[in-house]
Amino acid sequence: MRQPGLTGGVATEIVREIQKRVGDTSPITLGEWAAGYDATLKQPNTMIFSAVRTAQREKTFKWVGPLSLVKTYFYGSPTGGVVLNSLDDAKKLPKIGVPKKFYAEEFLLKAGFTNLASPETPAEMVEMFKKGEIKVFVSHNLAISNLLLDSKVPVQGVKPLLTFMDTKQHWLAFNLATPDAVIQKWQGALNEIKKDGTFKKLWVKYNLNPADMPPM
């Protein structure tokens, strides 16, 4: 099983722990989300993580999870003068950054947004923010800290402006050709990791909020 376009950190450690328990030695590769997403759609024996499980994607992949709870926000500068009270307010902005093929892009396009700037990666999106090309961008509670750190943006230089969508869940998304027996094996291993305390230990290791842990 090859995993393209993954998110690093705790998700990677959880996947490696599952691999150890199911006897999978496949490599984990890091790449652009959009490319990894397309590869997982088309190529057997592939899986991408962490993916938000939505109604639109439900029949596109086979799923193992959940890994975490996800709360999505529009973010901007505390001194940027942007105030958002609703999605309609956000539609009036010149541009909003959201990475290509992210679940939030799908949601916003379906909601009628025509002002999206959609770079290939979150890092490119934050670079646009740093350059002043966009005043608002989309991210979520589990990614924002590392995203800002990697892009050398001070945490105090960004604030959440508005949360939108219901709380979602991150899952492992497998190509549809993956045998059901493999899905069951991976799900069983994840369930064991949650029950024996390994999952919580990894969560605490990355200083993540226990309130954002997924259901057991």
In a shared domain, residues 25 and 96: no
Q: Are residues 151 and 79 in the same domain?
A: yes
CATH number of the domain encompassing residue 97: 3.40.190.10
pLDDT in tens, 155-178: 899 999 999 988 889 999 999 999
Written as one letter, the residue type at 168 is K
Residues 120 and 99 sit within 8 Å (Cβ to Cβ): yes
1 is a domain residue: no
Enter the pTM of the model: 0.75
pLDDT at 198 over 90: yes
Q: Under DSSP, is residue 169 helix (H, G, I), strand (E, B) or coil?
A: strand
Residues 113 and 140 in one domain: yes
Expressed as residue numbers, the domain containing 104 is 72-163
The predicted-structure confidence for 63-81, as pLDDT tens digits, reads as follows 999 998 888 999 999 999 9
158/171 same-domain check: no
4 pLDDT more than 50: no
Residue 176 lies in a domain: yes
Q: Are residues 115 and 149 in the same domain?
A: yes
Return d(Cα 119, Cα 103) in angstroms, integer.
14
- Residue 60's nearest CA partner among 40, 74, 80, 79 is 40
User: 128, 147, 163: which is the final residue of a domain?
Assistant: 163
